[in-house]
Structure 1
Amino acid sequence: MQRLIEDKRIQDAATPALLHPDFHMRNIYVSAEEPTVVTGLIDWQSTSIEPAFIYANETPDFAALPKGPEEDTFEKGQSEQRLPGHKEREWKDASICYQTYDVCMKGLAPKLRPARLLDPSLLRLFQYCHTSWRDSATAVRQDLIELSARWAELGLQGSCPFSPTDEELKEHARDYEDFETVQKLKLWLRNSLHTNSDGWVPNDVWDAAKNAHRAAYDEWIQTAKESESRGDGLTVEKADKLWPFDAR
């Protein structure tokens, strides 16, 4: 990181900035009578002055494009008519929010632009090293390995100070496979339980979500039992350890 901050591109992207650190729908209050009127913003307690690149690639949930098959359809240039009516409207609304947010960020927060134009590999280590408590050291190590492999391609001077051995790379490959399994599992749970990465659900669907979560966990453990009996590597103990939520 000491070597990276010597690069002028990163220095230009590190202008001090002050933004809401968790700008998402659950922290925005609107009027019950007129939902276009914002009445309050909460969750400011982690606000601090940070390098602009910390915020550069954050897109709040209200401005994010929908994930799923319909997104792939648009990316491949296929006809919008292939989408169901309500999904087409949902995608268009989300697209308007996404584009509007992008324009607003360019106009109202121009100091973020240098960071938004940089190759993400140059900034990923700064942006995510502090989340190792949540994502594990494996994710940070993967960023370091990718950065090391692309050091010269990214125009960085000299050689990368991080140079893992073949044995370390093999060990990391095993750890990273587990990490990817957890991410895929968490994504599947988020979609099936209609929640977010923290597991938040509205109070009125809590019981249904809890039952669905329990059923998903039982299915996951059953899969692990079958895998363990075949000797495929996924044991019940490992499956329980990989489960992303505290509840069992």
Structure 2
Amino acid sequence: PDAMSFVQAVVNIQQTWLKRFAPVRSPNDVFSFSGLDTSPDIHVRLLDQVLAIAPYLLPPDNLSFPVLWHTDLHGGNIMIKAEGAPDITGIIDWQRMSVAPLFMQCVYPEFVKYTGDDRIVLPPGLKLPELPPDFDQYSEDEQTLIKGQYRLAIFYKSYEASIAYNSPHQLAIHGYPDSDINHLKVFVGSSSRTWFDGAHHLFQYLLEIEENWDEIAPGTAFPVLWHKQDIEQYHRDYARLEAYDDCASRLVDELQIEASGWVSNERYEEVRAKCDELQRSWDVDKNGGPFPFQDGAPSDILS
């Protein structure tokens, strides 16, 4: 199957769910983010527009063939032998992994990413990083720290060199403009959960694509005719909903929890008390919507 088949499947599954199970929401529903969310029909219509636009956005076949890829490969998910040579004995945490086009899956494993010391500069291409020129001026403890970061940077660049020689398709993906790939990932991903995230996100992606259409498909008419009432509703709601997303994100940071609301058993009582306190002071009008962590709120995790 090609990448377009994947996009069609994502959209068809979501549209079928919307038609069969999504309830018509009351305009008074506090978690109806936008006027666009009161009816499943609006979501179905937006997803039809995704199918009209998608063929123009997809990367070439060599970046779109289906792969099974572990997209959360950090050190804790790699099992090695307790004794002897550190051979890999297993990879865990495969839930929610799937077969999907390469451009949707291809990421640097978490265990090789380098996000360490700013004094270690990662050069472009197949060049190795170097120690900072003033390395000798640091204290012994600082030098030890910098050397440790340097080894991690070498590890990262070695991985880059490895895929350059052994995985040309992966190298091609990483050479593709990040903005294009990330836009596609978000665009397709949003198509699978419009009812839970709100239609305004997908609507915004479609409008951004329209703004750049002359670069995406020169000489081709934009294949979507908007409903006037949808556009008007979008413009009424979007600024408020963007402010709400920002407030919810800052709330997650303040509580030091995951976006889904998950918290460890050890911190549960502490976070619950803090959450109750913040909910009492939450200003619905100022923050653009209801307090996000309460009964009936949508979850970041649907499976």
Identity %: 20
Corresponding position of 1:233: 286
Change (3 A) 1:34 1:167: farther
Corresponding position of 1:158: 220
Counting matched residue pairs gives 229
Change (3 A) 1:55 1:24: same
1:22-101 to 2 correspondences below 5 Å: 22-33=72-83, 36-44=86-94, 46-56=96-106, 58-66=107-115, 85=142, 88=146, 91-101=149-159
3-state secondary structure, aligned to 2:213: coil
Question: Unpaired runs of 5+ in structure 1?
Answer: none
Question: Unpaired runs of 5+ in structure 2?
Answer: 1-50, 123-131
Distance in 2 (alpha carbons) for counterparts of 1:167 and 1:111: 42
1:1-248 to 2 correspondences below 5 Å: 1-6=51-56, 9-33=59-83, 36-44=86-94, 46-56=96-106, 58-66=107-115, 85=142, 88=146, 91-116=149-174, 117-118=176-177, 119-120=180-181, 123-124=184-185, 125-130=187-192, 132=194, 135-155=197-217, 158-162=220-224, 163=226, 165-189=231-255, 192=256, 199=262, 201=264, 206-207=265-266, 209-224=267-282, 227=283, 233-234=286-287, 237-238=290-291, 240-241=293-294
Please report the RMSD computed on the Cα atoms of aligned residues, expressed in angstroms.
4.5
TM-score (norm 1): 0.65
Distance in 2 (alpha carbons) for counterparts of 1:24 and 1:197: 20
Change (3 A) 1:52 1:10: same
Conservation of the 8 A alpha-carbon contact between 2:72 and 2:110: no
How far did residue 171 of structure 1 move?
1.3
Distance in 2 (alpha carbons) for counterparts of 1:103 and 1:133: 42
Which fold has the larger relative contact order, with Cα–Cα distance below 8 Å and residues 6 or more apart in sequence? 2
